[in-house]
Amino acid sequence: MRGARFAWLWAVLAAGLCAPAGAGDAPSPPEEAPGPREIDPADAAAARRHMVAQVALHARLTAELTGRPELDAAVLDAMLRVPRHAFVRPELARYAYLDVALPAGNGLRESQPFLVALMTDLVAPPRDGDVLILGIGGGYHAAVASALVGRVFCLDLDAEAAAVAMARLAPLDHGKVETRIADPYYGWPEADRRFDAIIVRLAVDEVPAILLSQLKPGGRLVAPVGPSDAEQRLTLFTKDADGRITRRPVLPVRFMRLPGGRRI
Catalytic residue numbers? Answer: 111
* 153 φ/ψ sector (left φ>0, alpha ψ -120 to 50, else beta): beta
For the ranges 122-136, 163-177, 249-263, which has the lowest average pLDDT? 249-263
- In the chain, the number of structural domains is 1
2 residue type, one letter = R
**pLDDT tens sequence across 138-189:** 999 999 999 999 999 999 999 998 999 999 998 876 679 999 999 998 999 9
Residue 263 domain-assigned (yes or no): no
Given its phi and psi angles, is residue 96 left (phi above 0), alpha (psi -120 to 50 degrees) or beta? Answer: alpha
Q: What ranges make up the beta strands (E) of 69-184?
A: 102-105, 108-110, 130-134, 151-156, 177-181
- The reported pTM is 0.85
Query: Furthest-apart CA pair in the chain: how many Å?
Result: 63
Query: 61 near 21, Cβ under 8 Å?
Result: yes
Measuring CA to CA, how many Å separate 233 from each of 2, 120, 199, 222?
Answer: 45, 16, 14, 10
- Evaluate whether residue 45 is within a structural domain: yes
* Residue span of the structural domain in which 157 resides: 2-253
**122 half-sphere exposure, CB direction, 13 A CA radius:** 29
Is residue 72 included in any domain, yes or no? Answer: yes
Q: Which of 8-12, 39-43, 234-238, 255-259 is modeled with the greatest confidence? A: 234-238
Cα angle at 72 between 210 and 179, to 5 degrees?
A: 40
Residue 22 DSSP label: S
Q: Which range has highest mean pLDDT (16-25, 27-36, 149-158)? A: 149-158
Q: Is residue 264 part of a domain?
A: no
Q: In CATH, what number is assigned to the domain containing residue 7?
A: 3.40.50.150
